[in-house]
Amino acid sequence: MDKIRYNRKIYLEDKPRAQAREEVLSAFDLPQKKEWIPAAAALGRITAEPVFAKVSMPFYHASAMDGVAVNAEDTYEAHEQRPLQLKKDEQFTYVDTGNAIPQEFNAVIMVENIHVIDDETIEIIEPATPWQHIRPIGEDIVQEEMLFTQGHQLRPADLGALLAAQATEVCVVKKPLVTIIPTGNELVSADASLSSGRIIEFNGTVFSAYVEDWGGQPLLHPIVKDEPEKIREALLNAADTSEIVVINAGSSAGSKDYTVHILEELGTVFTHGVATRPGKPVILGKIKEKVVVGVPGYPVSAYMALEWFVRPLICKYLGVQEPERAKLKVKLGRRIVSTMGAEDFVRMNIGYVNGQFVANPLTRAAGVTMSLVRADGLLVVPPEELGYEQGDTVEVELYRPVEEIKNAIVFSGSHDMTIDLLSSQLKNQRTDMKIVSSHVGSMAGLMAIRKGEAHVAGIHLLDPETKEYNITYVRKLLAGQDAVLYPFLKRTQGWMLPKGNPLGIEHVSDIAAKNADYANRQKGAGTRILFDLLLREAGLDADQINGYDREMFSHLSVAAEVKGNDNAAGLGIYPAARAMGLDFIPVADESYDLLMTKAFFESEKGRWLTSVIQSHAFQLEVDKIGGYAVVENPQPIYF
Ligand SMILES: Nc1nc2c(c(=O)[nH]1)N[C@H]1C(S)=C(S)[C@@H](COP(=O)(O)OP(=O)(O)OC[C@H]3O[C@@H](n4cnc5c(N)ncnc54)[C@H](O)[C@@H]3O)O[C@H]1N2
Ligand code: MOO
């Protein structure tokens, strides 16, 4: 049993990130270790000492051209009107590019400029100047010359210079060893069987990859349980053997968050809590002379904290400048609210629509790894700002090259699995194009087209009066704007019910009559509009439906909700029901169409998109899902 009892630490500081960074950097003052490694394997490494050439290059006078080596003096008489003949071996010898020039010669004439008379004789009509077409000894590299100073990061061409100068071994800065300690009783490896409360350990692998990318040597420690003794032992060992220690999770105020106490006991804590959202519960401290960085458990917070504090430490150790990301000015598609006094880091999607870059925030939840996977850029809201308004121009840091962002087709609206298939087919045919999609529902998709924030929106909006899909909505909401509605799919909506349909639901009235727990969709979702129509047709009211106010944001989340509850019911598409092993009773066939800006529809990208939709390969993939039919010979409707 552990002898020491730790008080739960409830209050974290809000230290400015820049201050925390300066403090930890000035506390990190290890001398660089050096090592000799083969030059051929030194890509990306930092030279620890100046590197000198051991030999010259070329090592001898070398012919720069294919032709003949001559003595320039022998050629002075040559003239267009008085061709001069030269004798082989006495007055010339054949040489190829790179050959050594025999001592008696001092110039090369290109083969194109000689006229061969016979095996022994050539003729020239122009004199050669001394040293023409000869690469003299050391033209490129001179023996003893300094090729690189210390602190130079070796690039591919640099390796060539090292080998050419016979500097076959090079003294570089040893990569700082960064030990990464994942902690948590709940953590299991990715191949373990999962049960409620178990979390796959993946932060360690991500940290290792970042550390490697930044020039450090990662060492991923096995998972450590939330037991003070185990954490203490892991920290002490890591501090003995490595340059930097990263400990993951247990950084906040939970009952098992011991890290900060153990660090206080074994060394010093400089910081517990920085004024950032996310990433607040960072711990910075030292054991002996080794810096320990405690990063929060949530992946997004963790990766950001790693970049704020571990990357500068690695760069300082290596003696290189920290790289900065490219920046881009973008227009905000949505308002962004920020906490006063804290820096906010907002992952952004960026699209290039109608000649301008428009950015929209992704989820800000620190546990959503996919928000980092999907992000095109990062908006940093400084502590003194309360946020920005929709339409403001702000600067974002880019996570991807700007060309990639410029080439993406921005897809908005209701999500459908076929859009992922379309994405994949498009990528098959055009490596320079991709679909970037955000799933916001049909109505929000339509508005995105209206505001010029998307090229394409997937919509399925039923007009309860006309029973027609999409057209009335587009006519009403996009009045006066150039848009095209491209008929895309017919798909089947139906009741999603627990296996065996225990409540025996067949009709909307059964949902009310049997008091089923209904999993509804969000306002503006096409499925919600359909459900409301079904209610009205059956003469039912929303308040007769149990769960009407609980809103899910996708077909799959409705299906997941239904799966866990024998009393549940939902409305959605067949593939979602199938994915969750649910019963499915068809209710209506609906039109899921693609609304596009006219400019996009008529652009090269728009034409590609529609040609992929019409391709056999795509339609075959769609048929495999079931419950769908791609519209044949679609007639685009212009508005
Ligand atoms: N009362 C308070 N609760 C929390 C606060 C707070 O200020 N007061 N801060 C929240 C914030 S913000 C964060 S971030 C988290 C940080 O929590 P910990 O660093 O203590 O980490 P855990 O609770 O152990 O884990 C949280 C979460 O992170 C994921 N995780 C952890 N380790 C890994 C790993 N190796 N690989 C993948 N994912 C990992 C996992 O989802 C955990 O559930 O605290 C809040 N709470
Ligand atoms: O600060 Mo936590 O790191 O927001 O997620």
Which portions of the chain are predicted below pLDDT 70?
1-11, 253
CB of 279 shorter than 6 A to ligand 2: yes
pLDDT of residue 436: 86
**Nearest ligand for residue 201 CA:** 1
Q: What is the 3-state secondary structure (H, E, C) of 439-470?
A: CCCHHHHHHHHHCCCCCEEEECCECCCCCCEC
pLDDT in tens, 353-373: 989 999 989 988 898 898 999
Counting ligands in written order, the one closest to the CA of 344 is 2
Atom of ligand 2 nearest to the CA of 301: 3
Residue type for 406, please?
A: K
Centroid of ligand 1 to alpha carbon of 255 (angstroms): 12
Please give the distance, rounded to the nearest whole angstrom, from the Cα atom of residue 502 to the centre of ligand 1.
39
- Give residue 595's pLDDT: 97
| Residue 537 tokens, joined | 């047709």
Angle in degrees, 0-180, between the axes of helices 616-625 and 417-429, rounded to the nearest 10: 150
**Which H or E run contains 568?**
strand 568-573
> In whole angstroms, what separates CA 16 from the centre of its chain?
27
Q: Tell me, what's the pLDDT at 249?
A: 86
Domains and CATH numbers, the chain: 17-30+176-318 (3.40.980.10), 34-57+140-173 (3.90.105.10), 62-135 (2.170.190.11), 442-638 (3.40.190.290)
Q: What is the pLDDT of residues 120-130, one digit of tens each?
A: 999 999 999 99
- For the Cβ of 17 lying below 6 angstroms from any atom of ligand 2, the answer is no
Segment 577-608, tens digit of pLDDT: 998 999 999 999 999 999 999 999 999 999 99
pTM: 0.85
Instruction: Report which secondary-structure segment, H or E, holds 471.
Output: helix 471-477
For a mutational test of ligand 1's pocket, the pick from 252, 256, 306, 344, i.e. the residue with the most ligand atoms closer than 8 A to its C-beta, is: 252
C-alpha to C-alpha distance for 180 and 203, rounded to whole angstroms: 9
Q: What CA–CA distance (Å, rounded) separates 593 from 567?
A: 33
Ligand closest to 277 (CA) is 2
Mutate to test the pocket of ligand 2, among 15, 280, 304, 345 (most ligand atoms within 8 A of CB): 280
Q: How far is the CA of 441 from the centre of ligand 1 (A)?
A: 31
Is the distance from the beta carbon of residue 366 to the nearest atom of ligand 2 less than 6 Å? yes
Ligand 1 surroundings by CB, under 6 angstroms = 12, 182, 184, 187, 199, 201-204, 248-254, 257, 278, 280-281, 296-299, 301, 366-367
ipTM: 0.94
Pocket test for ligand 1, best of 6, 187, 199, 247 (most atoms within 8 A of CB): 199
Q: Whose CA is nearest to atom 4 of ligand 2?
A: 278
Q: Is 301 in the pocket of ligand 2 (CB under 6 A)?
A: yes
CA of 21 to the centre of ligand 1 (A): 21
Instruction: For residue 300, give the ligand nearest its CA.
Output: 2
Cα separation, 416 vs 293, in Å, equals 42
Contact 361 CB / ligand 2 (< 6 Å): no
Question: What 8-state DSSP symbol labels residue 596?
Answer: E
pLDDT at 2: 46
**pLDDT on residue 4:** 56
pLDDT for the residue numbered 5: 60
